Amino acid sequence: MDLHTIADVRDARRREPWRPGDAWLGGGTYLFSEPQPHLRRLVDLSRMGWEPLVRHEDGSLEIAATCTIAQLSRYGRRLLEAPAAPLFEQCCRAFLASFKIWNMATVGGNLCNGLPAGPMISLATALDGTCLLQAQDGSLRGVKVVDFITGAGRKDLAEGELLRSVTLPGRALECRTAFRQASLYGLGRSGALVIGTLDPADGSLAVTVTAATTRPFRFWFPLPPDADRLRTAIDSAVAPAEWFDDIHGLPEWRRHMALRLAEEVRRELATPDGTQEGAR
Residues near other proteins (CB under 8 A) are 1-9, 25, 27-29, 32-34, 37, 41-42, 44, 46, 73-74, 77-78, 89, 93, 96-101, 103-104, 182, 184-189, 191, 247, 249-250, 252-254, 256-257, 260
Q: Which is nearer to other proteins, 8 or 57 (CB)?
A: 8
Q: Closer CB to other proteins, residue 218 or residue 267? A: 267
What is the nearest approach in angstroms of other proteins to the Cβ of residue 170? 26
Main-chain dihedrals φ then ψ at residue 150, nearest 5 degrees? -110, -5
Q: Closest separation between CB of residue 168 and other proteins, Å?
A: 22
Residue with smaller CB distance to other proteins, 175 or 257: 257
For residue 195, count CB atoms less than 10 angstroms from its CB and return exposed for 0-12, middle for 13-18, buried for 19 or more: buried
The CB-of-26 to other proteins minimum distance in angstroms stands at 10
Distance CA 74, CA 79 (A): 7
Closest CA to 62 of 143, 124, 11: 124
Measured distance CA(110)–CA(133) in Å, rounded? 15
Spatial separation of the C-alpha atoms in residues 99 and 220, rounded to whole Å: 32
At its nearest, how many Å lie between other proteins and the CB of residue 194? Answer: 13
| 98 vs 236 by CB, closer to other proteins | 98
Could you tell me which of 126, 103, 107 has the C-alpha nearest to residue 211?
126
